[in-house]
Amino acid sequence: MIPKTTADFEEKYIGSLINDRYKIIKLVGTGGMGSVYLAEHEILRKKVAIKILHYEQSKRKDTVERFKREAIAASNVGQDNIVDVTDFGYTEEGNAYFVMEYVEGRSLADVMKEQRVLPLEFAVAVASQIAVALYSAHGKGIIHRDLKPENILLTTKDGIYPFVKIVDFGISKILQDDVKPDERLRTLTKSGAIFGTPEYMSPEQAAGNSVEPASDIYSLGVIMYEMLTGRLPFFDDNYMKILHKHQYEFPELPSNVNPDIVPEMNSVIMKCLEKKPFNRYGTMMLLLGDLKNIYLKYNLEEKLSLAFLYNSGTVRSMNPAAEMISSQDIIRMLNSSPDEEVRHVSIESRKAGTVLKILVVVILLAVAGIAAYTFVKRQNPPMVAERTELSKYDDKNAAVKEEQPNKKEIVADRKGAETVKKAPVNGKKSVPMMKLTVNSNIPGVRVFNNETGKTICKTPCTKKLPRKEAGVIILGFEYEDYSIKPMAVTLDKDMTVNLNLKQEADNG
């Protein structure tokens, strides 16, 4: 129940202007600590969400501090799958509030109520994004502690669905690195206090003990269990009984509830639900590695591409294993879609792609495979990729550009492997470069780095970029009101991209 005074204030906010900047449009939802409103920035005309602390709660110092901590935690992570907080302040009545990005979509809880059991590719997509987001949070000393379907929003971004946005760090635990060791675990909660949602609590959290990142891993295991079976691993009308089950009982195997669950997913979920934290995954990134293996083994990319995530800067910089994916596989996953194909028309490239798929498995199983991967990849000729807008790819327009190193610069070792000498310039080591050429049937298309927004060139153009082994850059394209999808190219060899912009036929 919300006190009448609080309800009156909330009614008053509709249509009002907060701090001369945010005009409140409507109430989106109400919780125990505060209410969330849809608002618009008066100058920027940008929609935002504003969470305002309830009037009575604003009088409590510990609640206000916890509210501040939620804003700080969300804003400090700076990861795409976590709702960003951009402002903090107080209303004229003294209610604390913070401003965050507005997400148009539904919660995972709503989706599960409607569908009950979700497809494997959908569950892997959601779990993988949560893992990456909380890996970033854990790396900054932030533990969510209340991970549940209601706090996971699903939206569409750049044509990707489901795109995850995690909200509500209201009871998150922040570990500070700049305090004394004996004060490191100090939080706003009292020892032995239990905060969170019983159905998704880890055993240690249910017991009122100190929590670490492994607690979020357990909660994610509960969510995966629920997504794929349609029910919770532990449920009861009595919350205390639920907490007891988390601590002392073992859940039924997910595959016993839903026989369609693949064995590998069974293992992943049960490992997350281990009673002892040290028996679970050591980090969210290790969990992500097993999810990626399932994604590859069962060809889930054919149903839902996760290349945007598995080959993102966050994953590639934090997970050395991500560097072992071949450039061809990266291109294939990033650029493939149901209505559009990007093909590498070189026969040698297609053969190499098949070999490299096999090598990916070998590399993941043995260190020796890395050498084999490097050798094969060096043999690949430069590739030409075509981007055809609003029409399918035409094989007849494809071209292959072969470039061979100067024979005088090639040195063969005793095993027959070839390497290219790099001559120093002015006594300094030269930075290896690759050549990116972008052509278009309509000149003047702006080519930019899709992740940073920085302009690279305007077509037709040729640009030299630093060469990176197994590196990838996602190119964005902009020209008038054309809708041109982003495209990924590798940075380990010269690349040519041909854009063919076609308008839709006039039906009128």
Residues carrying an active site annotation: 146
Tokens of residue 414, six digits: 């005793």
Do residues 103 and 155 touch, judged by C-beta distance below 8 A? yes
Mode of pairing for the β-strands spanning 455-458 and 446-449: antiparallel
**Diameter of the chain by CA atoms?**
85
Do residues 234 and 275 touch, judged by C-beta distance below 8 A? no
Distance of alpha carbon 150 from alpha carbon 491, whole angstroms: 40
Do residues 295 and 301 touch, judged by C-beta distance below 8 A? yes
Judged by DSSP in three states, 474 sits in strand
Q: Could you say which DSSP state residue 431 is in?
A: P
Closest CA to 479 of 344, 387, 397, 392: 387
Q: How far is CA 370 from CA 363, 366, 375, 467, 490, in A?
A: 5, 8, 9, 19, 18
DSSP states along 376-400: HHHTPPPEEEEEEETS---GGG---
Size of the chain in residues: 508
Mode of pairing for the β-strands spanning 472-478 and 455-458: unpaired
Q: Could you say which DSSP state residue 475 is in?
A: E
Q: In 211-346, which ranges are continuous DSSP H helix?
A: 213-229, 239-248, 254-257, 263-272, 284-297, 307-310, 313-318, 327-335
